[in-house]
Amino acid sequence: MLRFQTIYPSLCLAISLLVPACGGDDSPAPAQTMDASPSDSAPSTPDAMSTPDDAAAPRMPFDGPSGPSAGCDRADAPKGKLEATVIAARIEREYILVVPDDYDASTPLSLIFAWHGLGGNYRNFSSALQLERTAGSNAIIAYPNGRPSVGGANGWDLSRDGRDVQFFDAMVEEISAAYCIETGSIFTTGFSYGGFFSNTLGCARGDVLRGIAPVAGSPTVRNGCVGQVAALIAHGESDSVVPFSQGETASRIWASQNGCSTESSPGTPSECAVFAGCDSDYPVWWCTYPGGHTYPRFGPSAIWSFFSSLTPGP
């Protein structure tokens, strides 16, 4: 059962490493570190998600679900910034759910999951990212909270059938039952280790997700994937925590998965390039920015622009 608790403005946290976002203007946050990693080195990479040397073989598009969810026309669903819990893999898990104040239960909305980095948590990531500012009334945003992972730091299980993929499944089921969701417009994004996990979900749940947008992440698994997803990959050119080359590899993998050519053309924003010749409805964007293991200023607007450009379902 999904349980909610309203988050009042007085409970907003100002994290020293992050831009406090409990008020102020609506301009995007500047480039910033969005995870409080316990060390300056990259986390160890399990064998199951080692970076491949070549791009993956293309797979056929999957006709995933589309249309309004079971939660449409439920007028009792709460609005605003809420804390929620759900049971997944026999564990009670927490996440923040941001529902537009003008939410109308008769209008299906996109659903976006945003995963924090290693050592972070759902509160500081939601306060810093505030993807809902760019999505406006068009999407419901879920900010999940991790559990002890690499070195005991708060993070994600990157395996395709692990506890956090089950967490994702449970949230999709519960949110879709409580709210009016366009089931063909479910997306995932994340920073750093959250970007790693977004790549995992793109492979494990390509029959549920319409698109992914890992930022400063790394490719995880590529074999045995299901479905097909559109992808925006973003990475800092001087990243010394997750090397820039890993972002390049991820972009090549998703371009290959989606039948794209090796050629690309400038996109919008100007930091992004669009691969040519991709399968219809499955574009791949490769976005780069100066700096290291930080979040780009253009990130939220570019990610929402990318997600909103995709038609519901394949």
Domain membership flag for residue 212: yes
Tell me, yes or no, whether 13 lies in a domain.
no
What does the pLDDT read at residue 75? 82
- Where is mean pLDDT largest: 74-83, 167-176, 267-276? 167-176
Domain that holds residue 155: 64-308
Q: What is the DSSP letter of 52?
A: P
Q: Is residue 207 part of a domain?
A: yes
The answer to whether residue 9 is domain-embedded is no
Give the burial class of 266: count Cβ atoms within 10 A of its Cβ; 0-12 exposed, 13-18 middle, 19 or more buried. exposed
**Position 12 in a domain:** no
Residue 187 clears pLDDT 70, i.e. is over it: yes
Share of the chain above pLDDT 90, in %: 70
Residue 65 pLDDT: 72
Percent of the chain, pLDDT > 70? 79
The confidence score (pLDDT) of residue 277 equals: 95
Record the tokens describing residue 92, joined without a space.
Answer: 């009670």
What confidence score (pLDDT) does residue 78 get?
95
Residue 314: the pLDDT is 61
Widest CA span in the chain: 51
How many structural domains compose the chain?
1
> At 201, is the pLDDT very low, low, confident or very high (cuts 50, 70, 90)?
very high
The answer for residues whose C-beta is within 8 angstroms of residue 11's C-beta and 6 or more apart is: none
Give the number of residues written for the chain.
314
Q: Return the bridge partners of 86, or none.
A: 93
pTM for the structure as a whole = 0.84
At residue 21, the pLDDT reads 29
**One-letter amino acid identity for 220?**
T
Backbone angles phi, psi at 57, to 5 degrees: -70, 140
How far is residue 82's CA from residue 75's CA, in Å, rounded to a whole number? Answer: 16
User: Which ranges of the chain does DSSP label H, i.e. alpha helix?
Assistant: 122-129, 132-135, 163-178, 193-204, 244-257, 299-308
Instruction: pLDDT band for 63, please (50, 70, 90 cuts).
Output: low
pLDDT tens digits for range 23-52 = 333 333 334 445 543 333 344 333 333 334
Residue 23 domain-assigned? no
Which CATH number goes with the domain that contains 237?
Answer: 3.40.50.1820
More confident residue, 58 or 115: 115
The answer to whether 84 touches 53, Cβ cutoff 8 Å, is no
The predicted structure's pLDDT at residue 34: 59
Cβ contact 297:27 at 8 Å: no
Rounded Cα distance between 112 and 129, Å, is 13
- What is the token pair recorded at 312? 């519901």
**Residue 41, domain member (yes or no):** no
State the pLDDT at residue 102.
Answer: 96
Which residues, 6+ apart, have CB-to-CB distance to 19 below 8 Å?
29, 30, 32, 128
pLDDT band at 4; cut points 50, 70, 90: low
Checking if the pLDDT of 212 tops 60, the result is yes
Residue 41 phi, psi (nearest 5): -95, 155
The answer on pLDDT for 7 being more than 90 is: no
Q: Is the pLDDT of residue 137 over 70?
A: yes
Mean pLDDT value across residues 192-201: 98
pLDDT at 268: 85
Strand 230-236 and strand 211-215: pairing?
parallel
Considering the domain boundaries, does residue 37 fall inside one?
A: no
Q: Are the C-beta atoms of 19 and 32 separated by less than 8 Å?
A: yes
Report the chain's mean pLDDT, rounded to a whole number.
84
pLDDT confidence tier of residue 129, bands split at 50, 70 and 90: very high
| Separation CA 168–CA 38 (nearest Å) | 25
